[in-house]
Structure 1
């Protein structure tokens, strides 16, 4: 079974997320820390929407910051297209297409360009969910984010 089929079957059961953000030496935003939250899944005709809510604790801080994100995974036979709906579904930002790299890994086919910044992703299937690594590079950005998405029973 291909990584795309396996991920497509797994997406509707995701309920939890944790993530770690690390800013590199070239970063001008210093956005290192850890987050956790819940995922509400909305199934559409050819897509799955993740409505994420949780808290992020910046490194060196004692107060968590609330976050909310909405991502849409559009399902296609040979790829998944990931959108960020921060401005609503009608104005979603297309991030990148994920294509199979192996039986358990998908990678962004090409980077997403946002101004002078590039965003790339690598998704690895895991036993009870998946891991999505983001790499963001630009004149003031040098970020690595690692998300772990988990099914309801884990």
Structure 2
């Protein structure tokens, strides 16, 4: 492991505890059968644990993009969301898991490794997370006041792009 990669992992670890809000934009591509384009915003409670991991408990609202109706008025209402993500720093990567249904039902998503050949990202998922036939990948990029986490999801019914802004 090189010194620069270690420094980036330490930078991310330090940054995680300062996060208090999230905004995101989801965009369904041409191959999507989900139609979950929209935007969301919420609060993040960052909590450090004795094992050195950190959880993000996210709560907020998601507003699906308006679908055209004959009257031209949208009936879309904001939907509440709740997520729990666990971040674990290791010597060569940062592991990300989803714990929305509890610690005992945690779903490992992927290991984020320092990007060596990406110009616009600081971390990339080492491998895609497979959920059925769907492949989840992510990139993480530091910003002046936090970081952006971009997800792409591809599969037979999914063609999604999610851009999270953690501040």
Question: Considering the TM-score relative to the shorter chain, is it more than 0.5?
Answer: yes
From 99, 102, 105, the equivalent of 1:91 is 105
Structure 1 gaps of 5+ residues are none
The question of 1:145 aligning with 2:162 is answered yes
Larger strand percent: 1
- Counterpart of 2:13? 8
- Choose the corresponding residue for 1:53, options 59, 70, 84: 59
Determine whether 1:73 maps to 2:78.
Answer: no
Structure number with greater Rg is 2
Q: Is the 8 A contact 1:132 1:146 kept in 2?
A: yes
Structure 1, residues 73-103: CA drift from partner, whole Å, max 9, x if none?
0111211000000221112000000000159
Aligned to 2:29: 24
Query: In structure 2, how many angstroms separate the alpha carbons of the residues matched to 1:87 and 1:38?
Result: 19
Is 1:124 matched with 2:141?
yes
Number of residues of Structure 1 aligned to a counterpart in Structure 2? 150
Q: Which has the higher contact order (CA 8 A, sep 6+)?
A: 1
Residue by residue over 1:91-146, the C-alpha shift from the partner in whole angstroms, topping out at 9 and shown as x without a partner, is 20000000001596000000000000000000001110000000000000000000
Runs of 4 or more consecutive aligned structure 1 residues displaced over 6 Å after TM superposition: none
CA distance in 2, matches of 1:33, 1:3: 31
The CA deviation string for residues 7-48 of structure 1, in whole angstroms up to 9 with x for no partner, is 101000100000000000000000000000000011012211
